[in-house]
Amino acid sequence: MAIREPQAGAWNFYPLNKRQLLNEIEKAYTDPKKGPGSLPKRGYIGERQIVGGIVPHAGYYFSAACAAWYYKELAEQVQNIDLAVILGTNHTGFGDKITTVSYYLKWATPLGTIDVDIDVIKSLKQLYPLMGDDALAHTREHSVEVQLPFLQYIYGDSFKLVPIVARDITLEEAQQFAAALKKAIELSNKKAVVIASSDFTHHGSIYDYVIFTTNVMENVRNLDYKFIESIVELDTKKFLSLVDRYSSTVCGYGAIAIAMEYAKKLNSRAKLLKYYHSGDVTGEEDIIVGYAAIEFYT
């Protein structure tokens, strides 16, 4: 049985030691400034049904406190899930525009293993034949993996995973795949959450993206809020047009577009939970990456 071992952990995105990882997650939750300030309430069932969201995927030192806002809401509003569909960013360039992987039957983190839902993947392939299936697109990709410890912290091993990475897709492609995803989940008769794993603007010479030379921190923040406003409005066309207008470095914009279209098909609403950027963590503006936690709910 092929098991995908924790690559992002090996690259220091999060600790490989189980106790240290749990401490890091709980520190993110209880961070009084960048995090929500407290651990999720156990056994609490809220009023909103969260169907998806957008969370960052940088190293936990930078973005875990932001991600904790989303996962606290998820833990408190949704008591259990059967399926997590994680739409990651395709950083490697391997695979197709939208690519899953069925080679790995389990994904491992220091908190245990998660079974891959091969049946849902097969259904998705039938409903959307253009979706690729490529282990290389996932073997050295961190964006799906960094979400798993947060989900395991909440739900243990009680859910299955459908890993997907996306890159430069069009509005029509996002709409078509979101329709296929909705249908596949309905056919599975499973309670699912669809999460887009993406950071926002990457600004600095290291990213070959320098459009601000003064007030960089505030200007990056304002630019990201333009993208966030279109997401909260669930205006995917506007979001993608902004990506094009600014030659954006929002790394997972394809995943975000799919998640938005999926949310719209469920008549969902969107809410920004938290935004900050790496400059707020480091105090440096030479390299800035934006992070946002957004929920889609009914």
At 9 the pLDDT is: 85
At 179 the pLDDT is: 98
pLDDT average per 10 residues of sequence, the chain (298 residues)? 90 96 98 97 80 98 98 95 97 94 97 98 98 95 97 97 96 98 98 98 97 97 98 98 97 97 98 98 97 97
In the chain, how many domains are there?
A: 1
Provide the residue range defining the domain that includes 75: 3-297
What's the whole-model pTM score? 0.97
At 52 the pLDDT is: 98
| 3-class SS string, the chain | CCEECCHHHHCCCCCCCHHHHHHHHHHHHHCCCCCCCCCCCCCCCCCCCEEEEEECCCCHHHHHHHHHHHHHHHHHHCCCCCEEEEEEECCCCCCCCEEECCCCCEEEECCEEEEECHHHHHHHHHHCCCCEECCHHHHCCCCCHHHHHHHHHHHCCCCEEEEEEECCCCHHHHHHHHHHHHHHHHHHCCCEEEEEECCCCEEEHHHCECCCCCCHHHHHHHHHHHHHHHHHCCCHHHHHHHHHHCCCCCCCHHHHHHHHHHHHHCCCEEEEEEEEEHHHHHCCCCCEEEEEEEEEEC
Task: Provide the edge-to-edge strand list for the sheet that holds 112-115.
Answer: 3-4, 106-109, 112-115
CATH of the domain at 231: 3.40.830.10
Give the integer Cα–Cα distance in Å for 35 and 30: 6
